Structure 1
């Protein structure tokens, strides 16, 4: 059974031990923005589409990319949950390849008619700061707006990289909603290592 407690809207709320809280910012665009040029030096990057048969590979790169930012939503579910999503024709999932390695993940969700969600967007630390983020966003925008959608949206939170909201806004998204998410700390249940996301220290339940 889910726990309930009151959150102060004008002050500080102490969370129960073992819980994490994040401020979620949702952003959207209602039309395709002008595409920015791919940065120099990104010609070696490529996308490889994956599906249900690649679930183990998907979860592996998901964990590698997301551990430092507390990605856990797919890790707290059985593998069959991710397999079903990857099998859905309305979901497009790609790994980013460079020099024969998986270095990134792009997942686009079109299961709601008329809109697309940038569900997961991540890159290995080794390629950050070299234009790979802009390159991958260009691919995401091309793929999303090739569909008959009128809205493309994404959400990020304070567990993520601090520059994520600014990057999304530079890409043409506009913030439209802020939310509070409270969850069980996935590190306490072993879904992520205790050393994951050290900028959010573990407080044992």
Structure 2
């Protein structure tokens, strides 16, 4: 499509907002999982303290403008995290929390990989492949017919191709906007330097 025709469909992003394209992906059968290893350790994290969860959520997600859980009412967040159909696993480097996986089984027959991430310093070192194999092994249990997740254009540029290499296929894309959390004080202005701030 030429630029002139594309321009007819463009919309301005309001000042103080961030635009994003959200890509939803799914798999409908368990893939063959390699026996990858990692120096990191994955362990179940049942009923985490909300403050501990949010500290790790921020540590992992701040570079990508992860904000949803930071804005939730504490009781609403606790209801999700302590729901028996939501399973959390924490990733540790020694004793240091460096990532987490959140699997949501609240819809019958499905598992959503609701959150999946490592701190930025560990990205690109092969730990993600090991983590994904762990996540998929836990997600594909009896009665599960679909595993899905989503990513967006604020995420690492490696995320979407990584999910596709892991066996997920795109089934939906959406365009959205949100108030920039760096301008509301919910995240520091240094977060996500790859995303422009529209003042």
Is TM more than 0.5 here? yes
Partner of 2:51: 56
Cα offset for 1:177? 0.8
Which ranges of structure 2 fall in alignment gaps of 5 or more residues? 1-5
Question: Once superposed, which parts of structure 1, at least 4 consecutive aligned residues long, lie more than 3 Å away?
Answer: none
Name the one with the larger helix percent: 2
Q: Choose from 93, 110, 113 the match for 1:115.
A: 110
> Aligned pairs, how many?
194
Query: Would you say the 8 A contact 2:18–2:197 is kept in 1?
Result: no
Alignment check: 8 A CA contact 1:25 1:179 kept: yes
**Residue equivalent to 1:165:** 160
User: 3-state DSSP class of the match of 2:69?
Assistant: coil
Q: CA deviation at 1:36?
A: 2.0
**CA shift at 1:199, angstroms?**
0.8
Q: Which blocks of at least 5 consecutive residues in structure 1 are unaligned?
A: 1-7
Q: 1:34 to 1:132 in 2, by over 3 A?
A: same
Question: 1:179 aligns to what?
Answer: 174
Distance in 2 between the 1:127 and 1:19 partners?
A: 29
2:102 paired with 1:102: no
* Residue of structure 1 equivalent to 2:60: 65
Is the counterpart of residue 47 in structure 1 residue 38 in structure 2? Answer: no
Q: Does 1:15 align with 2:10?
A: no
CA distance in 1, matches of 2:99, 2:17: 29
Partner secondary structure for residue 136 of structure 1: helix
CA, structure 1 residues 202+33, in 2 after alignment: closer, same or farther (shift >3 Å)? same
Contact 1:22/1:158 (8 A) holds in 2: yes
Q: Secondary structure at the match of 1:116?
A: strand
| Contact 1:52/1:84 (<8 A) preserved | no
RMSD: 1.6
